[in-house]
């Protein structure tokens, strides 16, 4: 359930951006704690791209610890392992236009991380289950 344009946007835009964000977070003092919690875990996060009310792409972002290692088409075996509480399905929903804007203007996220988060976070829906 995706098309070549969305696949390219996610694989060549979102995934490298996600890797860049995680690389920049390494300078954050709390990152080492988060990395130690996630170390050795392969979590799978869902990414659902929407166009108005229509789903135009679904992806599984495979995480090696906190680092995105792969992007698969479709959403299968989603789960984030949280300590000893088990694994919980986790999906991010984003409108195609917003995803395109985030990728296009990604340097703003690094120039002003707080401003970028405040600007784009309201457009993301996070779903558990």
Q: CATH code at 90?
A: 3.30.1050
Host domain of residue 107: 4-128
For 22-37, write each residue's pLDDT tens digit.
Answer: 777 777 666 555 655 5
- If one counts the domains in the chain, the total is 1
Beta strand pairing call for 42-51 and 90-95: parallel
Tokens of 129: 């289950």
Give the strands of the sheet with 67-73, arranged side by side: 67-73, 54-64, 42-51, 90-95, 124-128
Tell the residue number behind the tokens 């457009």, with chain if given.
123
- Exposed e or buried b per residue across 92-101, where buried means at least 16 C-beta atoms within 10 angstroms of its C-beta: bbbbbebbbe
pLDDT of residue 43: 85
For 99-121, write each residue's pLDDT tens digit.
Answer: 999 999 998 888 887 888 889 98
Question: Residue 105: helix, strand or coil by DSSP?
Answer: coil
The dihedral sign for the CA sequence 100, 111, 60, 62: positive
């Amino acid at each position: 359930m995706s098309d070549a344009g969305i696949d390219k946007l996610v694989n060549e835009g979102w995934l490298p951006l996600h890797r860049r964000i995680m690389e920049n977070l390494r300078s954050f003092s709390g990152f080492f704690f988060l990395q130690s919690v996630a170390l050795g875990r392969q979590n799978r996060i869902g990414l659902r791209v929407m166009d108005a009310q229509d789903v135009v792409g679904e992806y599984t972002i495979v995480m090696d610890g906190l680092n995105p290692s792969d992007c698969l088409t479709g959403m299968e075996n989603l789960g984030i392992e949280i300590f000893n509480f088990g694994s919980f399905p986790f999906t991010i929903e984003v409108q195609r236009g917003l995803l395109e804007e985030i990728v296009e203007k990604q340097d703003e996220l690094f120039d002003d991380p707080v401003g970028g988060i405040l600007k784009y976070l309201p457009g993301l829906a996070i779903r558990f289950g």
